[in-house]
Amino acid sequence: MRLALEFTRKQRQLIASFVVVYLLLLFFCHSNSARDPTSIFFQPDVGYRPQRSLQRIDESIQYLSTYNHSFTPHSTADLTAPINNVDICIGIVTVKRPLQQNLDQTVGSLLDGLSPAQRRRIALHLLIAEPNPADHPTYHHPWVSNVVDRVLTYDDVDAPQSTIRRLVRNKLINKKSLIDYKLSLDACYDHTDAPWVMMLEDDVVTQKNWYEPTMRSLDLITEWDERDVVNDWLYLRLFYTEKFLGWNAEDWRTYLGWSVAAVLSAAVAGITARSRRSSLRAVLTNRFLAVICLGAVPALIALYFLSGRVTMHPMRPGIHLMNRHGCCSQGLVFPRQKVPLLSEYMQEWADVRHSKPVDTVIERWANENRFDRLAVSPSLMQHVGAASYKEKKKAFAWEGSHRVYGAHGVWSMSFEE
């Protein structure tokens, strides 16, 4: 009460007005940042609510239903003949998952919406990464041989089967995943002439028009390469999760510098205003300026950061540099010339005693060679798996007809918008 009496009526009105405006901003930010996982106002039930992904799941299943009647044995395809005159080879490694299989949704969403001409420009490879391929629940589904260009097993790709069986038996998932990824990369490189190799996990869905923005982005990057306006790069990311794109601790000096600059700017503006206008001298006293600079401005700065980086600095549509905090390996496109060296590097890590997950190894190789990593915004793919190793959970609760809620551990908010 005594502190309030130390201010004039005009000053108290201004302080009260600021409090009202701040509360309104607080309410707005609470609503506006509900889908921002980097914000304190993030609401999981809102942010992780599937919208477009549910539509794409339904469309993909409907698409495959027309190919799920007649069965063509996998062995009838000539796996030695090269597939030429394609723009992109898509490699999908699929395993028997403990909670739910999403392979049909992945393949269906990839092909649904493609024109016949676009489909002819794609080589689709599917590696059944099980020692006994018949153990995979989807292996004998008719649609597999009807829509996939090459259905590969370990016998077809000259895999180290005794090693793989040992890894499966000992549950050394990281090592096996590296071998599987390498085998799928090699299959695209050795048996197609595609200048681009896209590697997908078997639990994603794509935007219906994924092909055009992907190829347009690759053409643009190629043009940048020719003009030397882009550094040597490793991949184009088609999926990212905003979860790891928040305010980074390593940038705290930058944040502190701008915050101090904001406080000093407010102080300079207040002092300048009262020196030029005598009518403001009674209002902009030193005590009142202290309230503004040490109270109001820091409160606004705090609200700015609490609202989340994705809200305050949303990624504009297009191609972005994402050398840090890009997650995960759901959808990556590699230039052909990088594939052999990446394959060798993965084999090296598969041979070490303590191997790492696929995405970690890829990032390590990029860092060692100072390769840039690029990403398309908004995400062209969504992770819809029932689980992710990032969360280390064995079971999830879900509601509705599609089990996608568990995918929130690795989830793209931009895909759903």
C-alpha closest to that of 184 among 135, 138, 131, 128 = 128
Query: For position 4, what pLDDT does the model report?
Result: 58
Report residue 42: phi and psi, to 5°. -60, 135
The fourth-level CATH superfamily of domain 54-245+314-416 is Spore Coat Polysaccharide Biosynthesis Protein SpsA; Chain A (3.90.550.10)
Break the chain into its structural domains and give their ranges: 2-32+247-307, 54-245+314-416
In angstroms, rounded to a whole number, what is the distance separating the alpha carbons of residues 246 and 238? 19
In angstroms, rounded to a whole number, what is the distance separating the alpha carbons of residues 112 and 109? 5
In angstroms, rounded to a whole number, what is the distance separating the alpha carbons of residues 58 and 214? 23
**Residue carrying structure tokens 């597939």:** 83
Query: For position 3, what pLDDT does the model report?
Result: 55
CA distances from 189 to 138, 179, 346, 355 (A): 25, 15, 15, 24
Angle at which helices 297-306 and 9-32 pack, to 10 degrees? 0
Cα angle value 193/194/199 (rounded, 5°) = 130
- Rounded to a whole number of angstroms, the distance between the first and last alpha carbons of the chain is 49
- DSSP 3-state assignment of 417? coil
Report residue 151: phi and psi, to 5°. -100, 110
Cross-strand pairs, 198: 90, 333
Q: What is the largest CA-CA distance in the chain?
A: 92
Query: For position 49, what pLDDT does the model report?
Result: 86
Each of the 417 residues of the chain gets a pLDDT tens digit; together they read: 555 557 888 999 999 999 999 999 999 999 999 999 999 999 988 888 888 999 999 999 999 999 987 666 655 456 667 889 999 999 999 999 887 889 999 999 999 999 999 999 999 999 999 999 999 999 999 999 999 999 999 999 989 999 999 999 999 999 999 999 999 999 999 999 999 999 999 999 999 999 999 999 999 999 999 998 889 999 999 999 999 999 988 899 999 999 999 999 999 999 999 888 888 888 889 999 999 999 999 999 999 999 999 999 999 999 999 999 988 999 999 999 999 999 999 999 999 888 999 999 999 999 999 999 999 999 999 999 875 544 444 544 545 555 565 566 789 999 998
pLDDT digits (tens, 9 = 90+) for 38-49: 999 999 888 888
* Contact yes or no for 305/255 (Cβ under 8 A): yes
- pTM over 0.85? The answer is yes
- DSSP 3-state assignment of 327? coil
For the chain, give percent helix, strand, coil, nearest 5: 50, 10, 35
C-alpha closest to that of 152 among 118, 190, 106, 121 = 190
Q: Is 382 exposed, middle or buried (0-12, 13-18, 19+ CB in 10 A)?
A: buried
In angstroms, rounded to a whole number, what is the distance separating the alpha carbons of residues 25 and 317? 27
Query: For position 7, what pLDDT does the model report?
Result: 84
In angstroms, rounded to a whole number, what is the distance separating the alpha carbons of residues 61 and 201? 17
Q: Is 141 exposed, middle or buried (0-12, 13-18, 19+ CB in 10 A)?
A: middle
Query: For position 99, what pLDDT does the model report?
Result: 74
**Residue carrying structure tokens 């992710």:** 388
